[in-house]
C-alpha cells in the first residue's frame, strides 16, 4: 500500500469527524473536540508520512509529480476525471496546514470553552480542515475549485459564527460575496481552460493542463486582442486568488472577517485559507509563467529577449525568471507589491488589535505574491510557510490578550500587559519580530530576504523592490506601534467609556492556550534556517533543484547588500515606532502620535484609503441603482408583460372554449345527430308496406342495371 494511493485519507479523516460531529447532540462537547483533534492528529501523521515519501521521491526523480487520477462520471461521451497528487509543494503545505490546524484546534478548546455552540464550532473547523487539505492534494482544477468553494463556505460559516451579532453576519456576507467576485472569474477560467484544452487535470501523463503539450496549445491560441489563451486563463485564475487571498482590490473582506472567533481568524484568515490564493498561483505556476518564444505570437506586453529556440519556456521552478516574464506574472508581481504597501499603510492607523493583524496579513500575502511573481514558487511559498506560523502565533496571542482583557479589542484601552501576561508577551514579541523581519534570528527575516533578493533581480522593473522595502518599513513601524500600545506603558481603562465598573485585572490565559503559543513561537524562530541563502533547503525542495551548503553565498556582496537594506528598514521602522509610541498618554481618547505629526495622512490611512467608501459610492450605489431599476422594470415592464400574457392566455382559452363548444362539440353533436337522423331516415323506408318493398326491389334492380350499363359504356 503506497502512500500516494491512500493520500485521500488525509482530507477524509477530518471530513468524517465533521460528519459525525454534525449529528452529535449539542451537549457532546468532549466528543466533538476529541474527534476534531483526533482527526487532525491523524491528518498530521499522514501528512508527515506523505512529506517523507515526497522528499524521498523528489530526490530519486526530481521534478516528477506523483498522481492518481480516476474517472468520476460520464457526460455524453466524455468522462469527467479527477485525481490527487503528491509533490513537494503539496507535502509542505499538508504538514503546515495540519500542524498549524492541530495547534489551533487545541487552542480553540480553551478559547471557545464557554461558548454554547462549541460542538458546531468544531464541526465547522473539521469541515474546513477537510476542504483545505483536499484543496492541497487536488490534481484537478475542478476538484480544487470544489474544495476552494468549501473553504469559502466554512469561512462564511465561521465568520458568522456569532450570527446574532449584526456586524458578524454582515462581515460573513461581505466575505462571501467579495470572494465570489473572484470565484466567478476563476470558474470562467476553468471553463475556458476546459474548452481550450479539454482537460482540467494538472498532471496526466503529458496531457494535463500544466504540462508542456497543453501549454503550447494554449499559448498558440491567440485571440483578437493579441492575448493568448494561456495568459487570459492565468489572469482569470489569478483573479480567483485575488479574491481568496485578499489582494487589492478585493481585500476589503479580510479585515471585516475578524468578527469571527479568534482561532478562526488565526487558522483561516491568517495561516491557511487566505494562503490558498497564493497556493493556487504556485500550483498553476507553469501556466502563469508560460511565455511564447516566437516574437510573432508574442503579445506586445511580453518582452522576448534572448530566447531564440522555438520551444516553450515554462518557468516552473527556482530562481528569478531570466529573460521573458509572462504578463500574468507581471500582474501578480504588481498586484502583490501594491497590496503589500497599501495594507501596511492602512495597518499603521488602525486601533483594533485584530484588524491591525488582518491588514498585516493582507500586506504579507502581497509579499508572497511579490515573491511568486519575481522569484518563483520556492520564494513565495517559503514566506507563506513562515508567515503561517508567526501570523498564527500573533493571532493566537491577540486572542489570548482579548481573552485576558475580557473581550476588549481596542489597543487604546490596553497597555502594560507585559506584566500581567508574561508568556503571551514573550511569544507575541517573537511573532512581532518575525513579522517585522528582525535580522538573523527570526524566520520572517529570511523569507522576506529571499523575496527582496528575487525582486532586486527582477528583469522588468526595479520598482517592486523599492516599494517592497517601503512596505517592510511600514510593517516594522505598525508592529512596534501595536506592541507599544498593548504591552508597554501603563494599563489604560479596560472598559471603554465606563470607569465606574470595578473590573478584574487582565490575567494570563490557561495552558491550553499558551502552550500552542510557545510551540508556534519556537517555529517562528527556527523555520528561518530552512531558507537562508547559504542553505536554501526549502526553495530547492519545493523548486526541485539541487541543494548545496554554501556559506560563500551568504557572504556575497549581493546577499549582504540586500540583507543590509532589509535590516536597515526594519531598524528604521522599529526606531521610529519606538520613538513615537514608547510613551503613550494614559488617556485612551488622546489622539494618535502620528496624527499629531501628519493628520491628513493619518486620516487617509485610518479610513483605509476610502476603499470601502469608494465601493459604497460606486459598486454598492450602482448595484442599488440597478436593483431599483430592476424593481421598476419588474413592476412596470415585466408585471405588465406578465399581465398581458395572462390576459392573452385567458383570451386564448376563451377562444379555445368557443372553438371547443361551438365547433368541436357542436360538429360532433351534429355528426351524432346526423347519424341519428340518418337512422330515422333509413328506417323510414321500413314502413311495413310490402308493396313499397317490392317496388323498391324493382327500382333497385333497374337503377343498378342502368348503372352497370352506363359504367361499361364509359
Partner 1 sequence: MSHAELLGALLPELVLVLAALAVLVVDLTALRELKPTQRFLGGALVSVLGCGVAVVLVGLGNGSVNLLDGVLILDPLTRVIKITILVMGVCTCLLTSGARLPANAGEYFCLLLLALTGLMLLVSSENVLVIFLSLELASVCLYLLAAFDTGNPRSVEAGMKYFLFGATSAAFMLFGFSLLYGLTGHIDLRQIAGALGPGTDPLMLVAVVMVLAGFGFKIAAVPFHLWAPDAYQAAPIPSSALIASGSKVASFYVLARLVFTGLGGTVAAPGTNWLALLAILAVSSMILGNLAALAQSSVRRLLAFSAVAHAGYLLIGVLTPGGEALPALAYYLILYGLTTIGAFGAVALVEGRAGHERLPAFAGLHQTAPMLAVCLLVFLLSLAGIPPLGGFFAKFYLFATALKAAPGNPILLGLVVVAVAASAVSLYYYLQVLKQVYVRPPGRTGEPPLSRMATGAVFVLALLVILLGAFPGALVHVLEAARAASAF
Q: Is 511 or 676 the residue whose CB approaches partner 1 more closely?
A: 676
Task: Please state, in angstroms and rounded to a whole number, the distance separating the CA atoms of residues 424 and 694.
Answer: 129
Q: Does 708 bind partner 1 (CB under 8 A)?
A: yes
Q: Is the C-alpha dihedral spanning 447, 452, 458, 461 positive or negative?
A: positive
We find the least distance from the C-beta atom of residue 710 to partner 1, in angstroms, to be: 10
Instruction: Pick out residues in 372-401 that bind partner 1 (CB under 8 A).
Output: none
We find the least distance from the C-beta atom of residue 694 to partner 1, in angstroms, to be: 5
Instruction: Please state, as a whole number, how many other Cβ atoms lie within 10 Å of the Cβ of residue 704.
Output: 10
Instruction: Pick out residues in 436-495 that bind partner 1 (CB under 8 A).
Output: none
We find the least distance from the C-beta atom of residue 695 to partner 1, in angstroms, to be: 10
Q: Total binding residues for partner 1 by CB under 8 A?
A: 29
Long-range contacts of 173-180 (CB under 8 A, 24+ apart): 174/252, 174/253, 174/256, 175/253, 175/254, 175/256, 175/257, 176/152, 177/253, 178/243, 178/250, 178/252, 178/253, 179/152, 179/155, 179/243, 179/244, 179/250, 179/253, 180/152, 180/243
We find the least distance from the C-beta atom of residue 663 to partner 1, in angstroms, to be: 21
Q: Which residue has the cell 508597554?
A: 488
We find the least distance from the C-beta atom of residue 701 to partner 1, in angstroms, to be: 5
Instruction: Please state, as a whole number, how many other Cβ atoms lie within 10 Å of the Cβ of residue 611.
Output: 15
Q: Is 497 or 711 the residue whose CB approaches partner 1 more closely?
A: 711
Q: Is 116 or 712 the residue whose CB approaches partner 1 more closely?
A: 712
We find the least distance from the C-beta atom of residue 668 to partner 1, in angstroms, to be: 13
Q: Is 198 or 698 the residue whose CB approaches partner 1 more closely?
A: 698
Instruction: Pick out residues in 250-309 that bind partner 1 (CB under 8 A).
Output: none
We find the least distance from the C-beta atom of residue 640 to partner 1, in angstroms, to be: 49
- For 14, 46, 479, 525, 552, the CA distances from 434, given in Å and listed in that order, are 31, 29, 10, 7, 25
Q: Is 502 or 697 the residue whose CB approaches partner 1 more closely?
A: 697
| Closest-CA residue to 188 (of 116, 238, 148, 261) | 238
Task: Please state, in angstroms and rounded to a whole number, the distance separating the CA atoms of residues 529 and 539.
Answer: 12
We find the least distance from the C-beta atom of residue 671 to partner 1, in angstroms, to be: 10
Q: Is 640 or 679 the residue whose CB approaches partner 1 more closely?
A: 679
Instruction: Pick out residues in 668-707 that bind partner 1 (CB under 8 A).
Output: 675-676, 678-683, 685-686, 688, 690, 692-694, 696-701, 704-705, 707
Q: Is 74 or 691 the residue whose CB approaches partner 1 more closely?
A: 691
Q: Is 165 or 689 the residue whose CB approaches partner 1 more closely?
A: 689
We find the least distance from the C-beta atom of residue 714 to partner 1, in angstroms, to be: 8
| Closest-CA residue to 335 (of 374, 279, 296, 293) | 374
Q: Is 463 or 705 the residue whose CB approaches partner 1 more closely?
A: 705
Contacts of 574 (CB under 8 A, 6+ apart): 436, 438, 476, 477, 480
Alpha carbons within 13 angstroms on the beta-carbon side of residue 213 total 10
| Closest-CA residue to 565 (of 471, 482, 480, 479) | 471
Q: Is 25 or 680 the residue whose CB approaches partner 1 more closely?
A: 680
String marking each residue 579-608 x if it binds partner 1 according to CB under 8 A = ------------------------------
We find the least distance from the C-beta atom of residue 662 to partner 1, in angstroms, to be: 23
Task: Please state, in angstroms and rounded to a whole number, the distance separating the CA atoms of residues 191 and 197.
Answer: 10
Residue of 505, 616, 620, 709 interacting with partner 1 (CB under 8 A): 709
Instruction: Pick out residues in 619-678 that bind partner 1 (CB under 8 A).
Output: 675-676, 678
Q: Does 116 bind partner 1 (CB under 8 A)?
A: no
Task: Please state, in angstroms and rounded to a whole number, the distance separating the CA atoms of residues 588 and 328.
Answer: 46
We find the least distance from the C-beta atom of residue 661 to partner 1, in angstroms, to be: 22
Question: 3-class SS at 252?
Answer: coil
We find the least distance from the C-beta atom of residue 674 to partner 1, in angstroms, to be: 9
Q: Is 645 or 707 the residue whose CB approaches partner 1 more closely?
A: 707
| Closest-CA residue to 119 (of 173, 161, 171, 181) | 161
- For 7, 87, 184, 367, the CA distances from 90, given in Å and listed in that order, are 11, 5, 25, 20
Contacts of 211 (CB under 8 A, 6+ apart): 203, 204, 286
We find the least distance from the C-beta atom of residue 660 to partner 1, in angstroms, to be: 21
We find the least distance from the C-beta atom of residue 685 to partner 1, in angstroms, to be: 7
The answer to whether 408 and 504 are in contact (CB under 8 A) is: no
Q: Is 205 or 713 the residue whose CB approaches partner 1 more closely?
A: 713
Which helix (H) or strand (E) element contains residue 70? strand 66-75
Q: Which residue has the cell 351534429?
A: 670
Q: Is 655 or 675 the residue whose CB approaches partner 1 more closely?
A: 675
Q: Is 599 or 674 the residue whose CB approaches partner 1 more closely?
A: 674
C-alpha cell at 460: 522588468
Task: Please state, in angstroms and rounded to a whole number, the distance separating the CA atoms of residues 145 and 151.
Answer: 10
We find the least distance from the C-beta atom of residue 709 to partner 1, in angstroms, to be: 5
Q: Is 300 or 680 the residue whose CB approaches partner 1 more closely?
A: 680
Cβ-count burial 55-91 (b if 16+ within 10 Å, e if not) = eebbeeeeeebbbbbeeeeeeeeeeebbbbbbbbbbb
Instruction: Please state, as a whole number, how many other Cβ atoms lie within 10 Å of the Cβ of residue 217.
Output: 15
Which residues are near partner 1 by CB under 8 A?
Answer: 675-676, 678-683, 685-686, 688, 690, 692-694, 696-701, 704-705, 707-709, 711-713
Amino acid at each position: 500500500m503506497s502512500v500516494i494511493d491512500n493520500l485521500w485519507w488525509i482530507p477524509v479523516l477530518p471530513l468524517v469527524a465533521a460528519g459525525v460531529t454534525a449529528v452529535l447532540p449539542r451537549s457532546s462537547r468532549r466528543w466533538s473536540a476529541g474527534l476534531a483533534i483526533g482527526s487532525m492528529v491523524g491528518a498530521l501523521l499522514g501528512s508527515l508520512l506523505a512529506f517523507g515519501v515526497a522528499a524521498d521521491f523528489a530526490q530519486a526523480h526530481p521534478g516528477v509529480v506523483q498522481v492518481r487520477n480516476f474517472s468520476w462520471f460520464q457526460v455524453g461521451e466524455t468522462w469527467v476525471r479527477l485525481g490527487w497528487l503528491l509533490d513537494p509543494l503539496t507535502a509542505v503545505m499538508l504538514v503546515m496546514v495540519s500542524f498549524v490546524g492541530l495547534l489551533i484546534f487545541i487552542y480553540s478548546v480553551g478559547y471557545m470553552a464557554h461558548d454554547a455552540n462549541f460542538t458546531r464550532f468544531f464541526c465547522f473547523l473539521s469541515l474546513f480542515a477537510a476542504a483545505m487539505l483536499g484543496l492541497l492534494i487536488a490534481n484537478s482544477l475542478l476538484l480544487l475549485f470544489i474544495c476552494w468553494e468549501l473553504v469559502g463556505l466554512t469561512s462564511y460559516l465561521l465568520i458568522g459564527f456569532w450570527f446574532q451579532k449584526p456586524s458578524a453576519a454582515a462581515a460573513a456576507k461581505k466575505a462571501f460575496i467579495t470572494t465570489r467576485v473572484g470565484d466567478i472569474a476563476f470558474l470562467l477560467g476553468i471553463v475556458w481552460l476546459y474548452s481550450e484544452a479539454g482537460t482540467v487535470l494538472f498532471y496526466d501523463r503529458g496531457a494535463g493542463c500544466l504540462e508542456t503539450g497543453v501549454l503550447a496549445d494554449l499559448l498558440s491560441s491567440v485571440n483578437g486582442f493579441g492575448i493568448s489563451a494561456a495568459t487570459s486563463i492565468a489572469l482569470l485564475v489569478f483573479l480567483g486568488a485575488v479574491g481568496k487571498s485578499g489582494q487589492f482590490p478585493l481585500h476589503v473582506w479580510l479585515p471585516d472577517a475578524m468578527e469571527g472567533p479568534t482561532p478562526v481568524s488565526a487558522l483561516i484568515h491568517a495561516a491557511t485559507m487566505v494562503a490558498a490564493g497564493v497556493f493556487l498561483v504556485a500550483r498553476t505556476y507553469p501556466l502563469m509563467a508560460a511565455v511564447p518564444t516566437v516574437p510573432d505570437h508574442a503579445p506586445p506586453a511580453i518582452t522576448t529577449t534572448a530566447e531564440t529556440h522555438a520551444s516553450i519556456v515554462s518557468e516552473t521552478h527556482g530562481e528569478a525568471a531570466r529573460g521573458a516574464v509572462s504578463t500574468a506574472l507581471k500582474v501578480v508581481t504588481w498586484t502583490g507589491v501594491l497590496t503589500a504597501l497599501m495594507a501596511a499603510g492602512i495597518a499603521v492607523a488602525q486601533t483594533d488589535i485584530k484588524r491591525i493583524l488582518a491588514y498585516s496579513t493582507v500586506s504579507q500575502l502581497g509579499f508572497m505574491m511579490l515573491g511568486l511573481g519575481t522569484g518563483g514558487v520556492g520564494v513565495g511559498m517559503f514566506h507563506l510557510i513562515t508567515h503561517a506560523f508567526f501570523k498564527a502565533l500573533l493571532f493566537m496571542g491577540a486572542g489570548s490578550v482579548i481573552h485576558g482583557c475580557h473581550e476588549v479589542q481596542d489597543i487604546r484601552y490596553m497597555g502594560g500587559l507585559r506584566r500581567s501576561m508574561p508568556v503571551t508577551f514573550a511569544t507575541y514579541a517573537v511573532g512581532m519580530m518575525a513579522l517585522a523581519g528582525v535580522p538573523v534570528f527570526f524566520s520572517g527575516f529570511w523569507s522576506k530576504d529571499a523575496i527582496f533578493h528575487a525582486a532586486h533581480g527582477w528583469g522588468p522593473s526595479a520598482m517592486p523592490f523599492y516599494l517592497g522595502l517601503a512596505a517592510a518599513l511600514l510593517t516594522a513601524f505598525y508592529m512596534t506601534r501595536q506592541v507599544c500600545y498593548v504591552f508597554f506603558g501603563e494599563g489604560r481603562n479596560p472598559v471603554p467609556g465606563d470607569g465606574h465598573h470595578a473590573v478584574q485585572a487582565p490575567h494570563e490565559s490557561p495552558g491550553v492556550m499558551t502552550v500552542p503559543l510557545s510551540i508556534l513561537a519556537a517555529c517562528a524562530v527556527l523555520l528561518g534556517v530552512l531558507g537562508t541563502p547559504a542553505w536554501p533547503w526549502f526553495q530547492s525542495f519545493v523548486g526541485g533543484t539541487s541543494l548545496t551548503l554554501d556559506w560563500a553565498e551568504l557572504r556575497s556582496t549581493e546577499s549582504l547588500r540586500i540583507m543590509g537594506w532589509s535590516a536597515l528598514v526594519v531598524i528604521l521602522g522599529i526606531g521610529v515606532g519606538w520613538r513615537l509610541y514608547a510613551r503613550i498618554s494614559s488617556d485612551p481618547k488622546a489622539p494618535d502620535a502620528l496624527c499629531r505629526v501628519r493628520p491628513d495622512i493619518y486620516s487617509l490611512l485610518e479610513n483605509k484609503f476610502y476603499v470601502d467608501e469608494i465601493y459604497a459610492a460606486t459598486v454598492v450605489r450602482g448595484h442599488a441603482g440597478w436593483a431599483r431599476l430592476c424593481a421598476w422594470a419588474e413592476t412596470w415592464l415585466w408585471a405588465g408583460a406578465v399581465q398581458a400574457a395572462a390576459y392573452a392566455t385567458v383570451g386564448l382559452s376563451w377562444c379555445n372554449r368557443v372553438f371547443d363548444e361551438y365547433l368541436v362539440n357542436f360538429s360532433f353533436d351534429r355528426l351524432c345527430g346526423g347519424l341519428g337522423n340518418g337512422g330515422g331516415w333509413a328506417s323510414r323506408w321500413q314502413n311495413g308496406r310490402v308493396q313499397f318493398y317490392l317496388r323498391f326491389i324493382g327500382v333497385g334492380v333497374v337503377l343498378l342495371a342502368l348503372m352497370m350499363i352506363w359504367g361499361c359504356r364509359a
